[in-house]
Amino acid sequence: MSEMDDITRETSRFGTSIAHLLQQLAHATGWLDRRRIKKNINQLVREQTREAEQARAMELRRTTHAIEGYRRHAAQVSDRAADTGRSTEDRTRDRNSLAQHYGHVQERVLRSEFLRPVERGIALDGLAAATTFPEYELGNLFGKARKVTGIDALRYRAQAARAYTETGIARPPAYTRPARRDRATAVQDIRRAVWVTGHGADRDEREATRAAAARRAHDAGLTDHEINREFATAADNARFEVRMQTRDREGHAHNMFGLHPTEAAAAEWAQRQAESPHFRDAHHLGVGISARGQREQLFTAAGSPGFVTDELSAYRDQLRRDRGPTSTQPATAPTPAPTPESDGKRLAEVERQLAELRSDRDKLARDVGVLQRGMDAMTADRDGYARRLGEADAVITTLKNANTRQGAELKDLREKVIQTGVERDKFKTERDQAVQKLAKRTPEHQRYGSSERIAAEKFRRGHETGPASASAATAAEQSGPAKRYSVYVGRVDVAELMRQHGVAYPDDLPDDIRPGSRDFDSEHDAQQWARRYVAAMDTGGADIEVGVLDMHKEVGSRLRNETRGTRDGVLKTVDGWSAGRVDHHDTTKLTQEGHTPPVNGAGQQRPRPERSR
């Protein structure tokens, strides 16, 4: 089957479908049906338009390829003609072949149904250019075909017209008159305009509806006399109504409505419609015949189109037999008796429907089984969820009880905290009162935190070295009154020396760098001892400090003399003390850390044992 046959078949199918939809639109009585039918018409038109555009694009590509093939053929013929080795017969044969190829492509262009007149002219112009200049490629011939207007468009149209005249091919008509409507359909439109659309509407709408029906009837070929007669006899010709409903395999329903003068005419019209292509391919067909305005059905049939057609045929034959010779209807030929062949067909149709029913029954049984299994699974899930819900409720109850218990415990703890706070405040008050009483009853130099006690503690930590010194001081205090002057000699980097030698007390240092202290009754003896101690000490380049305390004075004013510096400077200063050339210093404490003279609780000097040299 050729491509043109496919296109023709598609076009015919589109025309049939659109005619069927338009007929349904004319028979539709509800706005929802009309809306659905209009939507189907728009969708069908869009699909047909899209297919037509695709077919046009394909035709343009094929035409371009055909002209390009002709150009290559012409180029080959031109090259062979320039070859001196070819004979005259070969050149003649090449020219004839090229002419046949040209005629074939030209006929294809002129007979194409998808090319517009301007596009035909462009194709013929390209064909002529390929004949004259085969060495140049044509490119995209139809790329700017839509932009060709004015004189250029007329020139292309004239070129196509001359080609039609030269070849004798019939030109396609510029306008095709639409197909005329069926006379029976036009008559049905008149009857519906009178008895369906006309009733219940205002006068202007009725007149417009009747005018439209008359215009369609005139287009279908009815004369004015016939149209007027149909309008005048519409009451007698619309005594019985036929309602037909089809359902395709996708479940979409289509309705048709007809009015007829007799019941037999209604049955005949319904049978003719059921045998038409519109209903023959339907999945399900239902037909109902009743008197106009009556709800009781005179005839009903539903099923496949073949089954309904047979039922309508039998119903029509029955009406003809019941009508008898006294009927006012014109006589018709007797209905032939049923033959075994028709009975066999009817039986085959019934068996086919029975097989379909069995198939539907089996399918429904399978569906029921699937649904039952799904129901069982849902029931199991429901039971599982119910069990989990019960467990969750038990956990929630346990948590609520624990929350209540913990709330009560928290309340008790808060009460205990409040009571404990009250007791704490009471004890703090009692403590503060006791401290105040103790402070009033304790001497100032024995109070914790007083300046006198802090000074005594610093002096003791700076000059008492080890347990032996503490015991000696205690023994000296117990033996008799303390001496007046206390002297201290040592290097200023005693702490660094202790870290270097890894000792905890200054007395554990070697003899040549160990600091020393001693008590004297005479200030001169104390100064001379300090001079000898300084002269014998290994300074290591560090400064030396010397301090003399008068232990008979009050705490805070006991410092008699103090010096710090190199060995020579310290010796010179000590000599000055002995000669009386240096004023006494009245300071409160030594400036070096850890070198405050030790004192006891009463402000007296603690005796230190004399270190052997």
Q: Coil, strand, or helix at residue 425?
A: helix
In a domain, 473, yes or no: no
On whether both 150 and 271 belong to a single domain, the answer is: no
Rounded CA gap, 137 and 143, in Å? 15
On whether both 160 and 188 belong to a single domain, the answer is: no
Q: What is the average per-residue pLDDT within 101-125?
A: 87
In a domain, 458, yes or no: no
Q: Where is 411: in which H helix or E strand?
A: helix 340-441
Specify whether the CB–CB gap between 562 and 587 falls below 8 A: yes
On whether both 16 and 86 belong to a single domain, the answer is: yes
In a domain, 296, yes or no: yes
Q: Which token pair is 151?
A: 């004189």
* Residue range 353-370, pLDDT digits in tens: 888 888 888 888 888 988
Domain count, the chain: 3
Residues of the domain holding 552: 485-579
On whether both 534 and 567 belong to a single domain, the answer is: yes
| Residue 391 confidence class, pLDDT cut points 50, 70, 90 | very high
On whether both 125 and 200 belong to a single domain, the answer is: no
In a domain, 177, yes or no: no
Dump the DSSP string for 295-359: -SEEEEEEE-HHHHHHHHHHHHHHHHHHH-TT-SSPP-PPPPPPPHHHHHHHHHHHHHHHHHHHH
Q: Which residue has the tokens 């491509």?
A: 3
- Which of 167, 193, 217 is where one domain is finished? 167
Q: Is the pLDDT of residue 242 over 70?
A: yes
On whether both 575 and 525 belong to a single domain, the answer is: yes
On whether both 138 and 29 belong to a single domain, the answer is: yes
In a domain, 29, yes or no: yes
On whether both 49 and 115 belong to a single domain, the answer is: yes
In a domain, 437, yes or no: no
pLDDT given for residue 549 in this prediction = 86
Rounded CA gap, 530 and 534, in Å? 6
Q: What is the average per-residue pLDDT within 138-166?
A: 86
In a domain, 138, yes or no: yes
Q: Is the pLDDT of residue 503 over 60?
A: yes
- Which of 322, 339, 371 is where one domain is finished? 322
- Which of 127, 143, 167 is where one domain is finished? 167
Which of 46-50, 262-266, 311-315, 342-346 is predicted least confidently?
A: 342-346
On whether both 23 and 124 belong to a single domain, the answer is: yes
Q: What is the average per-residue pLDDT within 208-228?
A: 80
On whether both 143 and 275 belong to a single domain, the answer is: no
pLDDT given for residue 412 in this prediction = 93
On whether both 144 and 17 belong to a single domain, the answer is: yes
Return the higher-pLDDT residue of 278 and 469: 278
Crossing angle for the helix pair 263-274 and 305-323, nearest 10 degrees? 160
On whether both 57 and 194 belong to a single domain, the answer is: no
Query: Which residues partner with 519 through β-bridges?
Result: 486
In a domain, 398, yes or no: no
The count of other CB atoms within 10 Å of the CB of residue 267 is: 27
Does the reported pTM lie above 0.85?
A: no
